[in-house]
């Protein structure tokens, strides 16, 4: 394991106000996104949409890398260039989702455990040869009546840590994503408590598995009221709770934090990220950036709608959305920048 190489890749991914584009949707999930804009879920349509995203000129000014799905890393664009090479040529680092999905946790109704450890060492070696230099594993934590349980916390933290150790053995930077879902009626205080506990357990297991934290990225949930909560905290409150949670739980040696959007609107995800960075002081030890999927892709997908004549404008919208989040990662976003686009 080359610690220096891992650290360099991790720093390149989260430094300088750049973030990470998540386009690791499975084939069925990608199909749902395409169906929303009236596009059939065919091999060619998925290829063309991913080519639109990964080939957008100027995207690398704001986006350092992209998380791919297994199908994508094995696919070439219409001209025959493999997507990892498309990314490298466009100034971005290829990444790969390696978990096989969240499944029902036996004996724990309403809770999930993420699978995919079997055969992971061999898959990581193959992905490395295909150009991947970072990976992602997503765990799902649900807040509800009597949950999360100890078994859910511990099972998912252990799996994330074992995955991370295997990644680093393969020379691949692990992104660990313990997503606390926004579904439900809980308030921001309950979300704070669960997120703190989730991260505390996670880093205990990462230390136990001897994961090199400067060569790791945390993909974190913001601390928010649930979607069906009667109250909605303002942007400043979300930023205050989120920063307090992170400072209480995340070791200073972690290379960086990249937030997931979790179903927030594209603009609200940007506003929250911006306020978090505005409130962060000189004692905040890590760069704080974004790793968004729909909150980056949404405007581009809607405009493209499967029509070749719409590609250029869809790419402009993607680059703009990425630039807004890059500004937010520096605490420099202004709403009038969006209104002028």
Question: Residue 102 in contact with residue 181, Cβ under 8 Å?
Answer: no
177 in active site = yes
DSSP designation for 231: -
Catalytic residue (choose from 97, 112, 136, 219): 219
Burial of 198 (0-12, 13-18, 19+ CB in 10 A): buried
At residue 337, the pLDDT reads 83
74 upstream amide cis, omega within 30 of 0:
no
10-residue block means of pLDDT along the chain (341 residues)? 94 97 94 94 96 97 98 96 97 98 97 98 98 98 97 98 98 98 96 98 98 98 96 97 98 98 92 97 94 94 96 97 97 84 60
Which DSSP string corresponds to 275-325? HHHHH--TT--S-EEEEESHHHHHHHHHHHTT-GGGHHHHHHHHHHHHHHH
d(C-alpha 326, C-alpha 304), whole Å: 23
| Structure-block tokens of residue 67 | 């998380």
d(C-alpha 130, C-alpha 255), whole Å: 24
Q: CB under 8 Å to 301, separation ≥6 — which residues?
A: 33, 34, 36, 37, 49, 314
Cα–Cα distance list, 112 to 26, 102, 137, 220, 223 (Å)? 18, 6, 14, 18, 20
At residue 284, the pLDDT reads 94
At residue 340, the pLDDT reads 58
At residue 206, the pLDDT reads 98
Which DSSP string corresponds to 178-211? EEE---SS--HHHHHHHHHHHHHHHHHHHHHTT-
For 137, the 3-state DSSP assignment is strand
At residue 341, the pLDDT reads 60
Number of H helices, E strands in the chain: 13, 10
d(C-alpha 111, C-alpha 62), whole Å: 36
| Structure-block tokens of residue 283 | 């004692």
pTM: 0.96
Helical H runs in 90-187?
Answer: 120-129, 150-169
d(C-alpha 61, C-alpha 167), whole Å: 27
Catalytic residue (choose from 25, 177, 179, 275): 177
């Amino acid at each position: 394991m080359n610690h220096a190489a891992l650290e360099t890749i991790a720093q390149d991914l989260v430094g300088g106000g750049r973030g990470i584009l998540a386009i690791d949707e499975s084939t069925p999930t990608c199909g749902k996104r395409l169906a929303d804009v009236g596009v059939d879920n065919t091999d060619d349509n998925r290829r063309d949409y991913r080519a639109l995203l990964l080939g957008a000129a100027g995207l690398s000014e704001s986006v350092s890398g992209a998380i791919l799905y297994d199908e994508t890393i094995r696919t070439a664009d219409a001209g025959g260039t493999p997507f990892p090479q498309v990314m490298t040529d466009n100034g971005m680092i290829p990444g790969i989702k390696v978990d096989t999905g969240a499944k029902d946790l036996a004996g724990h109704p309403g809770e999930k455990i993420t699978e995919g450890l079997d055969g992971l060492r061999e898959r990581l070696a193959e992905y490395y040869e295909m150009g991947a230099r970072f990976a992602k594993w997503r765990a799902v934590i649900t807040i509800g009546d009597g949950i999360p349980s100890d078994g859910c916390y511990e099972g998912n933290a252990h799996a994330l840590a074992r995955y991370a150790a295997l990644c680093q053995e393969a020379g691949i930077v692990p992104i660990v994503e313990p997503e606390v879902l926004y579904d439900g009626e809980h308030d921001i205080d309950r979300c704070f408590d669960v997120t703190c506990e989730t991260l505390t357990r996670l880093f205990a297991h990462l230390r136990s598995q001897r994961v090199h934290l400067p060569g790791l990225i945390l993909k974190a949930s913001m601390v928010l009221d649930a979607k069906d909560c009667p109250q909605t905290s303002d942007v400043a409150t979300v930023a205050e709770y989120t920063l307090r949670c992170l400072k209480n739980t995340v070791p200073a040696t972690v290379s960086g934090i990249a937030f997931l959007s979790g179903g927030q609107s594209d603009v609200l995800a940007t506003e929250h990220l911006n306020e978090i960075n505005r409130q962060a002081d000189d004692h905040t030890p890590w760069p704080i950036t974004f790793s968004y999927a729909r909150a980056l892709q949404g405007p581009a997908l809607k405009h493209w709608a499967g029509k070749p004549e719409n590609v250029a404008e869809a790419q402009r919208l993607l680059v703009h959305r990425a630039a807004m989040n890059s500004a937010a990662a520096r605490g420099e976003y202004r709403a009038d920048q969006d209104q002028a686009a």
